[in-house]
Structure formats: C-alpha cells, structure tokens
Amino acid sequence: MSTAYEMALANVKGGASARAEARVLVEQMTTEEKIHCLDGGVPTWEGLRDIGSGGYHHRPFRACHVPRLGIPGFHFSDGPRGVVVGAATAFPVSMARGASFDTDLEERIGDAIGRELRVVGADLYGG
C-alpha cells in the first residue's frame, strides 16, 4: 500500500503540480504534525542534551518527519561556516567572505558545502 507522500510523488513525476500535491499533503496533516514541521521536532531537553554531549556535531537533525503520511522529512545541518557535522571544513563566516566581493570564491565554497552535506546525509542547510 502506498503512503500519501508516495502517491503525491508519483503524481508529480506524472506531471501534476508539485505545489498542488504539497497542498493536498498539508491538508491531511494534523495541527500537531504541522507544528512539528515548524519547530524541528526535537524536544528542547533532548536537543540541549545533544548539544552538550556532542550529538549535535555527529549527525544531521531530522525535521518534519511525518510517518503517518510517509513524509520522510529533512536532515538538517547548521551553518554558516560550513557543515556542522563530523570533520567537515570550517570556512570563514559569510560576512567575512562577502567582504572579499569574490563571487567565484563564494560559488566554490557553496559547491564544497553541498558535497559535504551529501556525505553526512543532510539535505537542508541552515547556513
């Protein structure tokens, strides 16, 4: 049996509007599930524990995972100096990079951050 997410994905692959399919999914979500997507879904004390014990830097945080509808959610990594998971590259912060006015450098850094996000399994970057 297909989930609501799988059906929406198949419809989009078949030519349906992604925006319309997203609306259908959101309409099926409970208020609690919608709030979960806004706040990341990690309880405050669990999040603080992970930050204090090193979990924050060991894995991306999952957000907006809605098992009932089959929505896989996002795997979030913080920034802005690069991927904040594992032994990723630490770049100068964006304000310092912006002071160089070097758009080619910024593009290369963005490409590197994107590659490192894929390596750690993240698909949403907060940098």
Model pLDDT for residues 110-126, shown as the tens digit of each residue: 999 999 999 999 988 88
Is residue 31 one of the residues assigned to a domain? no
Residue 67 is encoded by which pair of tokens? 């098992």
Confidence bin at 47 (pLDDT 50/70/90): low
Is residue 122 one of the residues assigned to a domain? yes
Is residue 95 one of the residues assigned to a domain? yes
The answer to whether the CB of 59 falls within 8 A of the CB of 87 is no
Q: Residue 79's pLDDT is what?
A: 82
Burial of 32 per CB tally in 10 Å (0-12, 13-18, 19+) = exposed
Render pLDDT for 83-110 as a digit per residue (tens, 0 to 9): 988 889 999 988 999 999 999 999 999 9
The answer to whether the CB of 33 falls within 8 A of the CB of 63 is no
Is residue 118 one of the residues assigned to a domain? yes
Residue 76: which domain range?
Answer: 40-126
The total number of residues shown for the chain amounts to: 127
Is residue 30 one of the residues assigned to a domain? no
| pTM across the whole model | 0.71
Is residue 46 one of the residues assigned to a domain? yes
User: What letter represents residue 7's amino acid?
Assistant: M
Query: Domains in the chain: how many in total?
Result: 1
Is residue 27 one of the residues assigned to a domain? no
Is residue 81 one of the residues assigned to a domain? yes
Strand partners, 124: 76
